Amino acid sequence: MAEKEVGKVMDFFAHPVVAGIDMTGTLKVGDKIHIKGHTTDIEMEIASMQIDNANVDKAKKGDSIGIKVPDRVRRGDTVYKVTD
C-alpha cells in the first residue's frame, strides 16, 4: 500500500463528527484515506464530501472540504490517499 499526502486537517466538529481538510492534492468519493497525527491514526473510505455545505464527488488542490470521520481528528493531522 502506498500513501500520498493530499491535505491537512484544519478543523474538527464533534456534532456531526466532521473534519475540515485543506487539500494539497486530489480526492474523490470512494477513495481510501489515512489520517495520521500525533494521536490520530484512522483509515477509512470517503463516503461523501462537501464544499461550502454542497455535496461534491471530488476535490482538488486548493479546495477546503468537509468529510465525516469515525473518530476525533486534530488540527494539523495529515491526510494521505491510500493506493494499492
State the pLDDT at residue 84: 83
Reported as a single tens digit per residue, the pLDDT across 44-76 is 999 999 999 999 999 999 999 999 999 999 999
| Domain span at 65 | 2-83
> Which of 3, 20, 9, 26 is CA-nearest to residue 68?
20
State the pLDDT at residue 24: 98
Domains of the chain: total:
1
Residues 6+ apart with CB under 8 A from 4: 25, 80, 81, 83
Residue with cell 478543523: 11
pLDDT tier at 14 (50, 70, 90 boundaries)? very high
DSSP-based three-state secondary structure for 54 = strand
Reported as a single tens digit per residue, the pLDDT across 17-39 is 999 999 999 999 999 999 999 99
State the pLDDT at residue 55: 97
Give the global pTM: 0.95
CATH of the domain at 38: 2.40.30.10
What's the CA angle centered on 47, arms 67 and 32, to 5 degrees? 90
Residue type, 52: D
The answer, yes or no, to whether residue 1 has pLDDT greater than 90, is no
